[in-house]
Structure formats: structure tokens, C-alpha cells
Chain A
């Protein structure tokens, strides 16, 4: 396929406008079907029995009493999900996380499941399952888990990435290192050096829709799965592999999604629902409760990070170093590695070194959460950057501008940057009226920068032109942030027709080729590239059909503004043929007109943002209110600016919750104390100010329209921006996220007592 993805600098007619969302009416009327809204005749209710222990050996499970209960149609344990992973360690971990095989590794780990005729029977059946546990010592804190004497979660884990394989197993699964230059030399050149340690607590993505699915397995080896997911093709691959099904015989349909933020990139309940359905011979619906979502679906890492930065009197950073420890839950991950890559990505540094340690703990398996790992690293680094600016007597923005990465800078994680937006976002912040607005007593202002890679990946799209001239666009990336509207705009742009003529749908796994998940801010970036490619392929056919209709050579036909034009004076009396004209005649000119595209979307442009935040802190209670917030971020090209602004605001809102109140609280018994929205405090509407946004457009050279991913970067700066604001308001450097009122008050008291 000859698709040229390079940026072309065209003028837009549809892209950049703000039409109403195509899924709007269904969502506001309640007609939209989310995961739990799908039902089948004869479906059973599935429920999962979960470990009450943080760490325990499963000696035996007796399901006989539950099986005898009237109305119970299937009871399963790990035995019903035999290991078919064939040495694939990552898949084995997914299998073990779906249903514990030998040990329960966290409070909430699934150990058995039932399918029954109703919820009451299913609940009763769970009570009849007898699990004989041998409770083992547990560890939930990332720093404690990294100690030599900590209880071992997996005695087969020997730290990777060390020069020599360690003699003893530990909870530290991997060490990774990034950087260049010589930090020792760099620190020796510094006039000022700031070194601090930080902690961030574990948070959950907090999507409002719990995980839900309906699974139906037939005796002939075919199966259907309706599920709320960010990637139905990936769910198909994983479930097929874990259940021993053929991928093409498992049809997965994604529902509307009530939030994912990375948390719906991972199977938990789906293999269990399929195994229950297979055993019961009936469809099974499995919906997690909120309690289960918190205890057993993917939170982000808790972290412990040390940062050291040195600078000369003139404000030049001479060296930067960070050590990052990230919790992974009980299975190995690469979360600290990502943190180590992103930590200093905003800056132009001669000497930089970051080291990441992946740490196992008895908590749920860490899953991606919006720019995973980057917000915590940014919190630690941007806090020290702010403090260093103060030490140097420099303005915090000026200091960052002086050291910001540019086109041609070798990034701290390796690659050399192309055109990037960190400098422009800082310049925009410098001249933003927010920076000059007066502050009152007990108020403080902070700002911070953030970086995210953005991903591309495998993408497949179909564009079908109906005989009435309307266009249906079938995409394989789940719409989590408005991509159906954005992709319809892109199809309309490329074809030269009106947005209202295009209808985009998310196709199921049997209707389209494989697509990677909607993650890494790739949905609109990748699928728009595939849509442009599909539209260009359709235009080739449209031109061919027009040539037939006119009976002229196809070389003499061009496509402009939704019309085929016959080139040259000799065709002067031929009126242009509209897409609608050509579509109407298609039955006589060769049949349906469609454009197809399959590609790997490379070249997702990196993304930068700078945020400004004002807070007011009550010095007597430690209560913090965010009173003003501004997001400045590079979008490359904002396809649908309202959605882009929504992404900016959403990331900031989640960051505000994380910075101030959200945290997993474990008791000494290793049990999660707050598995609900009452005590896991995401912000409510009245907690947030109107979040102001400013879109910058520095085109991505690797996309025809210059598009960059926009979904994730907006959660990277908030922890740091708010921490800097609080620290400026109270005069004490806050080093522990969330900055909950007890933590702020304790820090103030410690300062008063000196």
C-alpha cells in the first residue's frame, strides 16, 4: 500500500470544527448500551469468590456444597482454567490474576466463581465454598517490600538488570537505567544542588462504569463476548489463548465505555465468565461491584522516588539524577522503567541518569493509568526543579525555559527529538494572564511541565460508501474520548463531504482486522491515519467510476471538494460528479464502493504540557481548594477542539483528585480499607474550578494532518503543579501525595515546632 503519512500543511474545512457528538443522544437519554446493559435469553449470573487475605497459600477448595445448591449451574476454580500459556510468563500472570492458582496474592484475588440462576443464589453459593488458606506474611508498602527482610511474594524472582544475578530472591523484579553523560562530573560543576525524596500513594483510575461482560460459549468451540473494554481485539487474543479457543471463533463486541483510563486494557473477569459459560452451557453475565473494582482491578503504582538536580548560578542544569521504586502488585511489570524514561524528558541535559526498580507487593496487579508512571516521576522532578529555581533566585518558568528540550535535543531516555512543544507551552504560560493574577492570603500558585510518549500501532479501518452517498466508517479502536466524532471529521475532510454524511461505528472483532487497544493516546492518532488511508483508497475507486461514467481515461480525473473533476479544456462541458452522483450509479459501474486500510501507525509525536494552578489552604485544618487551573498543551492538530479540551480538563481533574485526596489505604491486616467512592475520594463537581485550556498546535511531521495524541499528557503535570502551589501557599515543601488535610496539617505542625 502506498500511503504517505507525512504532514502536508493543508487547509482544513471539517477538521478543527466542533460538531455535536454522534453518541450524544444515546448517552443523555440512557439508551447507550454499556457493559452491563447487554442481556441474553437464559443468561446466568456470575459471581466471584475473593481472598480476604493479602497473602495466603490455597491448600484446598471444596466446592461440593455450592454445587449442590439448587439454582447453581457451574462452580469453577483455577482447575477449570488450565494453564495453556506455554511458557509465556506475562500471559501466565494474567491467568493467575484472573483466578489464583496456588496462592492468593492480595486482598480481593479471585479464588473461585459461580454461575447461578439469580444473584441471590450466586451469593449464597459463594458462602458455601470452603477455602482452606494458610495465611502467609504479607507486605503492601513499596519501600518495605524492597527491603531484604521483607516477606517474599515470589521466591522465583531474582532481580533482573543487575551486573550479576543475585544469590537470593527478592521482591525487586528488575532494575533499569537510562541517561547519558556523567552525573558525578555534572554535580561537581553545580553551584546549587537540591536532593529530596518523595512518595506517592496508589490510586485507581476511578472509571464510573464497573467491569462488565456477557460470555456465551457454544459446544462447537465458537463463543461470543460482549464487554466493556478499551481493546476488544486484545481481549479476544488473551481470552482465546487462556481458554484454548481459536481467535476467529471468539467474537468480541465492545460496549459503550463509561471510562477506562488504561484500566480496561486488561482482562480480569472475562476469562472467568467464559469458563463459567463453557461449564454451565449457558450465557453468563458477570458484573463487578464497586468493591471488586477497587480490590481486584488495576490501580496504578505506589511510588518512592529520590531526585537530585544541580545547576549553575546562571540557571543551567548541570546534572540530574533520579531513583524510582514503583509497586507492580504481585506480578512483574515495567512501571518504574516508564517512570525512569519520562522523569527528565522535558529537559535538555548534558548529564542525566535515572534508575528504576520494579517492586512486588501484596496489592492488586498494577494496570495502566493515563500516561502510566509519568505523573509520579513528574511530581518528584518538578518539585525539585521548582525548589532549585527558588534557590537560584530565578522565576520558575524562566528556569524551565532556559533548560527546556528543543528540536534536536537528545532526550533523557535516548531518542533525539523532532519538533516539540515544551518550549512553546512554557512561553504560552509565561504570557498567560493567570500567571499575573493577584493572590490572597493563604493562597499559592504553582506550575509544572509534563511529557508523554504517545503510541501508534496496528490499525485497520473500513470505509463504505452507501448508494445514497452517505459514508459508514468502521473502526477497530474503541471510542473512549470522542474518536467517532473526530474520525468522522477526518473522513469528511479527506473525501471533501459534510460531516453529517459520515457515521462512524466501532466494529466487532469478526468484522475488521486486528487493532491494538485504545491506549497510549493512539485512538484518534492511529485511526485517523487509517481513515485517511481508507478514504484515499475509496477516492481512487470513485475516480475510476467517474471515468467510466464519462468514458474518459481515469488519469484525466481528479478529486476536489467531494467531486470528481474532468481535467483539461477538452472536458470543459462535463459537469463535476459529486460523491453522491457516483454512489448512485455504483450498481452499474462495478458495484459497491469502499476503501480499506490496514497499517502500523508509526511516528506518534511526543506530547508536552505545562499547567498552572492556584490553591487556597486553610492553615488550621490543612484543607486545600483548587481555585484556578489552566492547562496549556500541544495537540499537533486538534481534530475536534471540544474533545481535546475535554481531555485536557479530564486529565487535570483526575490529577487534582490524585494530588489531594485519592489513595488506597491498607490496614495492618493487608486488607483494603476504602474500596468505595465514599472513602476513596475522587473529586466531586463542586471540588473543581472551571479548568481553563489553551490548545497549541505544533504539527506532528509524521501524520498527514499533524495530529498528536492528546489523551494522557494532561494528567502528568497536575501532581507537581498542585504540590508546588500548596508548597508556595504554606511555605513548606510537600513531598507525599496525596496532600490530604492530615498530611498538610502534620507538615505545618512539624514546621511550627521547627
Chain B
């Protein structure tokens, strides 16, 4: 096994592109090292991206935020501006694993691990986040929900690395929220989850809305119909009922060790309602 720590994204891409055997990208390592220790993968090349310039930084730009691929989730929680603008994304990132794990793990890693239960991904999808992909043929920017294609699989080609996640600048009267269901209080994996992102008009009615569900299908589920049903409402009870029904209906879950189909369907609706209520309050809705 070869471990390298390149200083530029070009070098990292070059090494990955020419790798012959299985190769892995190392940022926090909270998925990779566990999988290696468990004997599930034995990479021949490990590319540590933490020394690449800019990848460990959160930058506030005119358009919003650029979160480098090697920024630990705990650092998201320490960034006041990001927390104020995207509280739902930050709370999702700060639910992953434990305090110790949050000091290492990254939202880009969470996205690329492509687990249907990834905590930060529904919040990012609801937020309309985009991923900046560097590869042998240059850079491209794609929606985060276009990254995972199935459990453990992504749309990234050989040699490609996500170098940053982009979040838009927030208008006034905007709010997002993320909720997951776990049987314990922490250190657990989402049985089902929901992220909701809203903006309101001057009168307090919902202007735009995005709803995403986690652990409800093989990949994160952006439920457009759920967003549409919220638009124009002030989150009255009938709207919340319809939201729950649409979310439950949109789920394509499985029965597994973490939960049943019926449970996931039902609780997806409940969490969407609760996340919408929190996002609405955060946006200033009453």
C-alpha cells in the first residue's frame, strides 16, 4: 500500500488517474479507516488531500460559501456566518458519529461515501448545494444529489475528486432544518431523515421550498412535489398533513436491521413536518 500527501489538486488528480489498483481518497478517514480495519477494502493507493491548498478552508464569497473538501464537520459548527446562514446544513454535519468523529469527518466524505443514510446529504440537497469536481479533463460543478448513484457508488469518474461544496448566499427570510430518526440519542446512523429549506415572501408565505429525505431510498431523495405543496402556504395543518403524505409516498425504503419499510415511510412524513416547522421558524415565519 502506498500513501501520498500531494500539495496540489492537479497532483492528486494525476496520481488517482494513473493508479492501477484500488485507490482511495483520505480526508477525515472516518469511513475509509473503519472499512480498511474491517477488511472490507484493501486500497493499494491512498491519497491524503488534507495538505492541498484551500481544501481545509471555509471561504465566504459574494455568491455564498465554499467549503473545502477537507474541512472537518466540527469546523462547520464553529463558523458563525455559516451557522447563521445554513443552520440545517450545520446541524446535519454535527450529528455525524460522535464529537471525536466530527473532529475528523467531512461533508464531502459523507457525500462520496454514498450511504443512503448519510446525515449531511439530505440537508445539502435541500439547500441546493453544489459540488466542485476536479478531474483529468478540468473542473465541473454538479448538484450534490447527482453525486451518489446507489449505496456506495458515485457518478465520479476515475481520477475525479470533489474539492469543495458550494452553498448559496442567503436572502432575507430564509431557513433550513435537518432531522433524523435514531433509536438512541447519539452515535448512531439515521433510520430515516429529512432536510427542509425554505424562503418566505414579505407576508410570511413560503416562496420557495426544497425537501429531501435520507435513508428512504438507495440515494438521497429530493421530493419536488413536497416542496411544491409548501409554496404559498404558511405551514397550516392541512399543508403539513399533505407534506407528510407526499413524503411517505415518495419513499422507496427497505426492511433492514435499522428499521422497517412501514416505519421509515411513516417517520419520513413526521420528520418532514417537524423539519419544515423548524425551518419556517428560522426563516421568521409565525
Please give the residue numbers on chain A whose beta carbons come within 8 Å of chain B beta carbons, in ascending order.
Answer: 123, 291, 620-623, 625, 660-661, 665, 673-674, 678-679, 681, 683-684, 686-687, 740-742, 745-746, 749
Contact = CB atoms under 8 A, between A and B. Distances in A.
Chain A contact residues: helix, strand, loop or mixed: loop
Contact of A746 (B39, B184, B188, B262): B262
A686 B183 contact: no
A623 B257 contact: no
Given A681-B188, A684-B186, A621 B267 contact: yes
Contacts of A741: 181, 183, 191, 259, 263, 267
Contacts of B83: none
B253 to A, nearest CB: 11
Contact of A681 (B39, B184, B256, B267): B184
A674 B185 contact: no
Which of B191, B258, B262 counts the most chain A CB atoms within 10 A? B258
Chain B contact residues: helix, strand, loop or mixed: loop
B173 interface: no
A655 to B, nearest CB: 16
Interface string B166-194: 00000000000000010111111101000
A681 B184 CA distance: 8
A91 to B, nearest CB: 33
B105 to A, nearest CB: 14
Contact of A678 (B185, B189, B270): B189
24 contacts: A291-B38, A620-B267, A622-B263, A625-B185, A660-B183, A661-B183, A665-B257, A673-B256, A674-B257, A679-B258, A681-B183, A683-B184, A684-B187, A686-B185, A687-B184, A687-B185, A740-B183, A741-B259, A741-B263, A741-B267, A745-B263, A745-B267, A746-B260, A746-B262
Contact of B266 (A625, A681, A687, A745): A745
B254 to A, nearest CB: 12
Contacts of B267: 620-621, 741, 745
A619 to B, nearest CB: 10
Instruction: Give the interface residue-count category, chain B.
Output: 20 to 34
Which of B183, B187, B258 counts the most chain A CB atoms within 10 A? B183
Given A123-B39, A621-B270, A746-B263, A684 B257 contact: no
Contacts of B185: 625, 684, 686-687
Which of A660, A673, A678 counts the most chain B CB atoms within 10 A? A678
Contacts of B191: 741
Which of A621, A679, A687, A746 counts the most chain B CB atoms within 10 A? A621
Contacts of B38: 291
A660 B185 CA distance: 13
A579 to B, nearest CB: 50
B188 A742 contact: no
Given A291-B38, A686-B185, A746-B263, 5 more contacts: A123-B39, A623-B183, A673-B257, A678-B188, A679-B189
A621 B181 contact: yes
Interface in B238-286: 256-260, 262-263, 266-267, 270
Contacts of A123: 39
A746 B267 CA distance: 12
Contacts of A749: 262, 266
A738 B258 CA distance: 13
A741 B187 CA distance: 17
Contacts of B260: 742, 746
A620 B183 contact: no
Contacts of B189: 678-679
A-B pairs, 5 with minimum CB distance: A742-B263, A686-B185, A673-B257, A620-B270, A665-B257
A622 B182 CA distance: 11
Contacts of A745: 262-263, 266-267
Given A674-B257, A681-B188, A742 B262 contact: yes
A751 to B, nearest CB: 14
B40 to A, nearest CB: 11
A32 to B, nearest CB: 22
Nearest to A677: B187
Contacts of B188: 678, 681
Contacts of A740: 183
B184 A661 contact: yes
A684 B263 contact: no
Contacts of A623: 181, 183
Nearest to B274: A620
Contacts of A621: 181, 267, 270
B207 to A, nearest CB: 28
A623 B259 CA distance: 12
A678 B187 CA distance: 8
Contacts of A687: 184-185
Contacts of B181: 621, 623, 741
Nearest to B262: A746
Nearest to A683: B184
A533 B140 CA distance: 81
Contacts of B39: 123
Nearest to B264: A742
A674 B187 CA distance: 15
B211 to A, nearest CB: 18
Interface in B28-79: 38-39
Contacts of A625: 185
A740 B263 CA distance: 11
A698 B270 CA distance: 51
A391 to B, nearest CB: 31
A36 B262 CA distance: 44
Contacts of B256: 673
Which of B181, B184, B260 counts the most chain A CB atoms within 10 A? B184
Contact of B186 (A620, A660, A686, A742): A686
Contacts of A660: 183
B1 to A, nearest CB: 10
B163 to A, nearest CB: 30
A740 B257 CA distance: 11
B45 to A, nearest CB: 17
A674 B270 CA distance: 26
A746 B262 CA distance: 8
A665 B260 CA distance: 13
Contacts of B259: 741-742
Nearest to A622: B263
A291 B38 CA distance: 9
A745 B258 CA distance: 14
A653 B262 CA distance: 29
Contacts of A679: 189, 257-258
A673 B257 CA distance: 7
Nearest to B255: A742
A660 B188 CA distance: 15
A625 B262 CA distance: 22
Contacts of B187: 684
Nearest to B256: A673
A745 B191 CA distance: 14
Nearest to A678: B189
B157 to A, nearest CB: 31
A684 B184 contact: yes
Contacts of A683: 184
Contacts of B186: 684, 686
Nearest to B258: A679
A606 B229 CA distance: 64
Contacts of A742: 259-260, 262-263
A678 B256 CA distance: 14
